[in-house]
């Protein structure tokens, strides 16, 4: 598959399926993001379940349509739950997304993220520095700070494709990599960087879209397009982060075929 095989029609079809199927996403996410991630999934047309305890994580992963593992505020119990849920999702053939928050900058969670790669995530969704940090822990370059440009993470992202089906590196233009493919999604708003948990919400939406799409590449592209368009819609009504947060949730709900065809910047 090459980049041109992810079309705007694919993204529109995935949006329709997300609404129709209302996929259930198990979210093992950080404490800062729980409510926002749940609300983002609901606004987009999916169903959240914040089941992150070791006693229930594996069993729920078998029930859920997709799983998100976000390492933003990892505890020992949540790490154990992440191991169990990701292994159960893989065994059940369910898509799961790894968001390795802080990879490369904090050694313990970087090692946890590396261990979770053994369960082969459908998508690694991260910013460019996290992609480079995770790849560095795998034997490549060392992690760098969050100011790294997404274009600088291309080699690192591709090096991770033997451990994941897709690697999505967020930036001014999101780059989404699969074997033999690179898809770029532009747009969005700078205000996304001024509201906590928007990246975490993107990870959850990526999991949701992967569960209804014919491939993880299309699922990741559809999620990134949905978030970019929702952010542009939200930025039309506000230039302040507080009101943007609410407008962004409304934007996630408002994204439809017409908005996608008007605003998606797909390369």
- Is the predicted pLDDT of residue 43 greater than 60, yes or no? yes
> What pLDDT is recorded for position 1?
40
Is 90 exceeded by the pLDDT of residue 145?
A: no
Give the domain extent around 154. 3-266
With 50 as the cut, is the pLDDT of residue 4 above it? no
Given a cut of 50, whether residue 29 has pLDDT beyond it is: yes
pLDDT over 90 percentage in the chain: 91
What is the domain-level CATH number for residue 55?
3.40.1190.20
pLDDT band at 233 (very low <50, low <70, confident <90, very high): very high
Residue 81 · residue 107 · CB < 8 Å: no
Under the banding of pLDDT at 50, 70 and 90, the label for residue 52 is very high
Residues 35 and 17: their CA atoms lie apart, in Å, by: 24
pLDDT of residue 148: 76
Element (H, E) at 72: none
For 32, residues 6+ apart whose C-beta sits below 8 A from its C-beta are 72, 73, 196, 197, 200
Query: In which band, very low, low, confident or very high, does the pLDDT at 151 lie, cut at 50, 70 and 90?
Result: confident
Query: Count of domains in the chain?
Result: 1
Residue 46 has pLDDT above 70, yes or no: yes
**Tokens for 122?**
């459908």
Q: Give tens-digit pLDDT for 59-112.
A: 999 999 999 999 999 999 999 999 999 999 999 999 999 999 999 999 999 999
How much is the pTM?
0.95
Report CA 85 to chain centroid distance, whole Å.
17
Lowest mean pLDDT of 10-19, 141-150, 168-177, 220-229, name the range. 141-150
Residue 21 has pLDDT above 70, yes or no: yes
Mean pLDDT calculated for residue range 217-245 = 98
Reply yes or no on whether the pLDDT at 218 is more than 60: yes
């Amino acid at each position: 598959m090459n980049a041109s095989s992810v079309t705007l029609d694919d993204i529109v079809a995935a949006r329709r399926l997300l609404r129709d199927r209302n996929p259930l996403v198990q979210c093992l996410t950080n404490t800062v993001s729980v409510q926002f991630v749940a609300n983002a999934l609901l606004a987009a047309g999916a169903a959240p379940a914040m089941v992150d305890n070791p006693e229930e994580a594996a069993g729920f992963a078998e029930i859920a349509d997709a799983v998100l593992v976000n390492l933003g505020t990892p505890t020992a119990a949540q790490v154990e739950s992440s191991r169990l849920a990701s292994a159960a999702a893989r065994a059940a053939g369910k898509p799961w997304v790894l968001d390795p928050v802080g990879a490369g900058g904090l050694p313990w969670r970087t090692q946890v993220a590396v261990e979770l790669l053994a369960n082969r995530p459908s998508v690694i969704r991260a910013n460019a520095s996290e992609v480079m940090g995770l790849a560095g822990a795998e034997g490549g370059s060392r992690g760098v700070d969050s100011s790294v440009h997404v274009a600088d993470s291309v080699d690192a992202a591709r090096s991770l494709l033997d451990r994941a089906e897709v690697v999505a590196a967020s930036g001014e233009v999101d780059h989404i990599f699969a074997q033999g493919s690179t898809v770029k999604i532009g747009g969005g708003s700078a205000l996304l960087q001024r509201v906590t948990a928007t990246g975490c919400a993107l990870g959850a939406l990526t999991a949701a879209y992967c569960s209804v799409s014919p491939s993880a590449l299309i699922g990741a592209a559809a999620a990134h397009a949905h978030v970019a368009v929702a952010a542009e819609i939200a930025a039309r009504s506000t230039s302040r982060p507080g009101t943007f947060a609410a407008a962004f949730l409304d934007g996630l709900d408002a994204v439809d075929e017409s908005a996608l065809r008007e605003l998606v910047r797909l390369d």
